[in-house]
Structure formats: C-alpha cells, structure tokens
Amino acid sequence: MIDLRSDTVTRPTDAMRAAMASAEVGDDVYGEDPTVLALEERVAGLFGHEDALFTPTGSLANVLAVAALVAPGQEVLCEARAHIARAELGAHGAINGLTMRTWSHPRGQLDLAAIEDLFAPDLGPFFVRTTAISVENTHNFAGGTVVPLTDLKALRAFADGQGVAVHLDGARIWNAHVATGTPLAEYGAVADVMAVCLSKGLGAPVGSLLIGSREQMVEARVRRKRLGAGMRQAGILAAAGLHALDHHVDRLADDHANARLLAEACGVDPASVDTNIVAFDRADAPSFVAAARDAGVLISAVGARTIRLVTHLDVGRADAERAAGALAKLVG
Ligand SMILES: *Cc1c(COP(=O)(O)O)cnc(C)c1O
C-alpha cells in the first residue's frame, strides 16, 4: 500500500530514533528538560520571536495561540476551510469560548476586502469584537497552497492599523518556505503568535510549537498545564524535532515534485500544486477513494466531493510513480 492520506503517517527514521534514544532529558513541567528548551529556543529564533512552547499537537498549539490573542466572547476571522474552523472539533468555542466568522477563497488565500468587511471594531455592548485574524500557510484543505508574503504583509499592515492581532497557523510553513525560498523569519514577522508542526512533512512522530513573546508563552504554559498537556521527559520527543530540523527540511522539495507528478496523473494542473498536497473535486469521491485503495493507493476524502493526496518522507519517487500510474488508470 502507498499511503497518501496524510503527511502525518510517516514513521521515525532509524537516525531519528537514535537521536531520540540518546536525548538528554529532565522534567519539562519544572522547566528542566534541556532538549525541550533547546528546541523551543531554536524554533523561536528561526521565526524571529522571543520564545516558543512545545506541545503534543498542532491543534493544541493553535488553541493556545488563539487564546493568547482572543478573549472569551470575542472573535477570530479565518478562511472557511481553515484547520482552526474545521478540524479542531470546535475547540476554540468549546475551550476558548470565542466565536469565528469566515471568508471563503477557492485557494484558501487571504481576501483583504472580505476581511475589511467582516472586521468588527469595539462598538461597545452591541457587536462581537474582532481581536484576531487567522491565516493558514500552507492551506491544508485548499490543497497545500502558499499564501504569498506580499499578501501577508498587507494583512499585517491592516491589522496594525486596526490594532488587531494576526495568528499564523503554520503547520506546514516549512513547505511554504521551501517552495518559495521565503526566509522563515519573514513569515514570523507577520504574526503575533504562530503554530508550527514537526509531525507533518518533517517526519517527527509527535510535536508542535507555539511561538510568540516571552509573556505570551508564560501564560500559554499555564493554559497547557491546565489542559493536562504538561509533559515530563519530553526531550525524547523534542529530540525528534531537532533531528527533523537538521535533516528533513530541504528534502520537502522532493515531496513537492512528487505531488506535481500525482496531480498530473489525476488530471490536475501541476502548476496549481504549490507544495505537497493535491486536492481536487469529484462527484464520486467516496467510491474513488475505495477504488484507489483496491489499486494499492490510500487517499482521503476531506469533504463530500473533495479528494486529497499528500506526499511525504515515506513515499519515495518510485512509490510516487507507481501511485501515479494506478491513479491515472482510475481517472482515465
Ligand atoms: C495538521 C494541522 C494542524 C495540527 O494538527 P494536529 O493533528 O493536532 O497536530 C493544524 N493546522 C493545520 C493546517 C494542519 O494541517
């Protein structure tokens, strides 16, 4: 089976397991795990922020990130298919007590005119107040699309003008960085708080980081513990992340090339594939997924009609070619 359901399905390499096995550890709830501290410092630095906080999942990093910016009873604006809106099981309402309104873009892009229309300043006890705007880069359900830096900078300027915060869901910001050559710090500069994943394309078994100011991380550390996610000798996991940063960033370009190959096989314009995700609509999505499985390729339906294929560390060129051949037969 060639598994293209997600880039979360990767298994740690032998070298990554060795790095984990030899990690120096301590109790991170006491702030004494040197490997966790090293990872947090390194990732904060990569994005030009003061501090970072290691979390077990990207969903938790997003919940903590948005909570750092939006108080209960206030709202965050995001794209309609954003992970925070669709795939975090309502956590931002259920846990953070905030509301969301959305704009829609077929490629998950920013739409500043729509955002300006939605934006609600503090009008007293009449309307929900917008206190953050969230952007996802790359955009998962829109097909791994990159949000251009110029658009992010325009959003930053709007946010500064209105005194509203920007949250960046950078679960796959590494892919955007490799696809465009944009320095990570340039992405970091547009966000007040951001979240990044180590367990997607980077191939770590577990782990994400919340990134922002020292003050925000102090508060987020309290919220993380309150939610039961204070981890002890987590350096075992952080070591996988450090190893991934050393060895698995540049190779994302291979995943992007494989995704374009698969797109072509599925009748999707490869030029529309920015990174490692191919998304396209088919009326027969569930039966197409089943037929692909019968042909030895696991793919997923991420909506009633939307098919998604994701390339990753455990799918080499030969596997991608084999999957492309099988899918081309089904599409043809
Ligand atoms: C995967 C993902 C997350 C975090 O997911 P977890 O499975 O909770 O780690 C957040 N945002 C986006 C866009 C994602 O694709």
- Tell me: do 77 and 208 sit in the same domain: yes
Percent of the chain with pLDDT over 90: 99
Please say if the pLDDT value at position 22 is more than 90: yes
Phi, psi of 191 (to 5 degrees): -110, 140
Instruction: Indicate which residue's Cα is closest to atom 8 of ligand 1.
Output: 59
- Tell me: do 175 and 159 sit in the same domain: yes
Distance CA 132, CA 148 (A): 19
pLDDT tens string 74-118: 999 999 999 999 999 999 999 999 999 999 999 999 999 999 999
Mean pLDDT within 23-27: 98
Distance CA 118, CA 252 (A): 36
Of the pLDDT bands very low, low, confident and very high (cuts 50, 70, 90), residue 266 is very high
Please say if the pLDDT value at position 332 is more than 90: no
- Tell me: do 38 and 182 sit in the same domain: yes
- Tell me: do 295 and 233 sit in the same domain: no
* Domain boundary pick from 198, 217, 247: 247
Please say if the pLDDT value at position 170 is more than 90: yes
CA of 332 to the centre of ligand 1 (A): 33
Taking the CA of residue 88 as reference, the ligand 1 atom at the shortest distance is: 8
Taking the CA of residue 138 as reference, the ligand 1 atom at the shortest distance is: 13
pLDDT tens string 312-323: 999 999 999 999
- Tell me: do 196 and 282 sit in the same domain: no
Please say if the pLDDT value at position 303 is more than 90: no
Among 6, 8, 55, 83, residue to substitute to test ligand 1 (most atoms within 8 Å of Cβ): 83
pLDDT tens string 124-155: 999 999 999 999 999 999 999 999 999 999 99
Residue 3 covered by a domain: no
- Tell me: do 299 and 214 sit in the same domain: no
Percent of the chain with pLDDT over 70: 100
Residue 318 covered by a domain: yes
CB of 143 closer than 8 Å to CB of 277:
yes
Of the pLDDT bands very low, low, confident and very high (cuts 50, 70, 90), residue 246 is very high
Instruction: Indicate which residue's Cα is closest to atom 3 of ligand 1.
Output: 58
Mean residue pLDDT across the chain: 97
- Residues lining ligand 1, Cβ inside 6 A: 57-59, 62, 83, 136, 140, 169, 171, 197, 199-200, 208
Q: What integer pLDDT is reported at residue 231 of this predicted model? A: 98
- Tell me: do 45 and 147 sit in the same domain: yes
- Tell me: do 296 and 204 sit in the same domain: no
Query: Based on the structure, what is the number of domains in the chain?
Result: 2
Distance CA 142, CA 303 (A): 11
The CATH number that applies at residue 280 is 3.90.1150.10
Structural domain including 216 reads 14-247
Residue 131 covered by a domain: yes
